[in-house]
Amino acid sequence: MASTNKIIELSSLIARETALINDFLVRNKLPTPSLDANALQSIPIPDSATDIKAARIAVIEACSELEALMTGPKELLKFKWTAYASVKAILRFKLDKSFPTGESTSFEAMSKFSGLSVMNVRRIVRHAIINHHFFQENTPGAITHSALTTSLASDEGMRNSLIVELDEFWPAGVKMADALEKWPNSEENNETGFALANNSNKSMYDILAEYPERGERFGRYFSQPGSTDDGIFGNYPWAEKTTMVDVGGSHGSVAIGIAERYPNMKCFVQDLPDTVAEGASRLPAELRDRVTFMAHDFLTEQPLSVDVYFFRSIFHNWADKYCIKILQNLVPALKPGARIIIHERILPGLENLTTVDARRAINLDVGMLQLLNAQQREMHEWPELFRRADSRFHYLGARQPAGAMRWIIEAEWQG
């Protein structure tokens, strides 16, 4: 019996899983997904509905693969070199804020608001409509908001994120190949696509420090509300420990969360002086005897001897040579049995390369290359990193809590 061909297999999967999602929405009296201005910003699937969440991911992955198959290699090779030009122009000239949500406008009104010509407004807006679902033009010349521009106009955090990605990250990506050619296999964070895009010989952080407005935008980008937990509070035996330090812990969200849940824990937060000063000013009064902020550069020797050294999304900002130095700087403070926890993504293996989560991890890996000459790491690279730092580190393994984005990567000091 002949096997079903791939496009039929994918289309059947899409139909089946979409029907499952639709039944869930109808059963719970939820609206059908839409990109209209008044649409929900995301499909409200509760964490408990694991089958529906899995169905949604399956549809997204299958649609992506089916689109590629139906497009074909020749068309897939065509580079979309105008892709985000219109989005960047809309943000720069605030066209999304040129008229209220729920109302309509004209190209002429948007021209008057922005100072751009009517012709340029029209071509920019229509490019964004057809490529990115920005705005809608259901009647010729009458522009209304879509769900995307409604979000941009009303959510400053989301708007700021898109500006940072287009103004800071995108130019660095364009220059990444040039940086690799100029500085082959460099591990230095000032020999990057970001440095070339800024005509500089400095690192991204040093460049942003010279431009307070850009630095402030960048800081807000990484201060977006998100899941502080991501599996770390309930999937590690904190009750068996008494002291921990969150190295590079920013304003202390993880340390505070641990202290709130585990009264036995004394927590320290280390970061740059201004960052820890801000964190200390926000610390709830009832935790001041168990959460301490201190200025510390993790590229220098660690002064604290504790049970657990915790690093969240730190190592992916640095090349191997610096990660090894970070670990070696712990050694003078380590006592036998001390644990090192690294809480971040792990690059997927070959068997998982087609998943949505894998795509995000791999995209972030290349992002680290273009910005900092840093990297995400595969599973087998973690024990090797600890071994290169010091043979007295004993790698204990890595595990990913159910539903979490990050892995809990752990080693024990046996010196």
Q: What tokens does 389 get? A: 């730092």
* Structural domain contains residue 26: yes
pLDDT, tens digit (0-9, with 9 covering 90-100), for 295-333:
999 999 999 999 999 999 999 999 999 999 999 999 999
Q: Which residues are known catalytic residues?
A: 316
Q: How confident is the model at residue 90 (pLDDT cuts 50, 70, 90)?
A: very high
pLDDT, tens digit (0-9, with 9 covering 90-100), for 100-131:
999 999 999 999 999 999 999 999 999 999 99
- Do 146 and 191 share a structural domain? no
| Mean pLDDT along residues 23-41 | 91
- Do 394 and 273 share a structural domain? yes
What distance in Å separates the CA atoms of residue 403 and residue 47, rounded to the nearest whole number? 8
**CATH number of the domain that residue 146 is part of:** 1.10.10.10
- Do 97 and 24 share a structural domain? no
Domain assignment of residue 25, given as a range = 6-76
Yes or no: say if 265 and 290 are a contact pair by the CB < 8 Å rule: yes
Return the pLDDT at 353. Answer: 65
Number of domains in the chain: 4
- Do 263 and 371 share a structural domain? yes
Listed in sequence order, the residues at least 6 apart from 393 whose beta carbon sits closer than 8 Å to its beta carbon are 327, 340, 386, 387, 411, 412, 413, 414
**Between 122 and 221, whose confidence is greater?**
122
**CATH number of the domain that residue 362 is part of:** 3.40.50.150
Tell me: pLDDT of 347 over 80.
Answer: yes
Q: Mean pLDDT, the chain, as a whole number?
A: 93
* Structural domain contains residue 284: yes
- Do 165 and 148 share a structural domain? no
Q: How confident is the model at residue 357 (pLDDT cuts 50, 70, 90)?
A: confident
- Do 215 and 185 share a structural domain? yes
- Do 375 and 249 share a structural domain? yes
Nearest to 220 by CA among 168, 285, 148, 294: 168
Q: How confident is the model at residue 44 (pLDDT cuts 50, 70, 90)?
A: confident
- Please list the alpha-helical segments (H only) found in 175-304: 176-182, 193-197, 204-209, 212-221, 253-261, 273-282
Q: What is the DSSP letter of 378?
A: B
DSSP code per residue over 60-101: HHHHHHHHHHHH-HHHHTS--TTTTHHHHHHHHTTGGGSS-T
pLDDT, tens digit (0-9, with 9 covering 90-100), for 146-185:
999 999 999 999 999 999 999 999 999 999 999 999 999 9
Tell me: pLDDT of 365 over 70.
Answer: yes
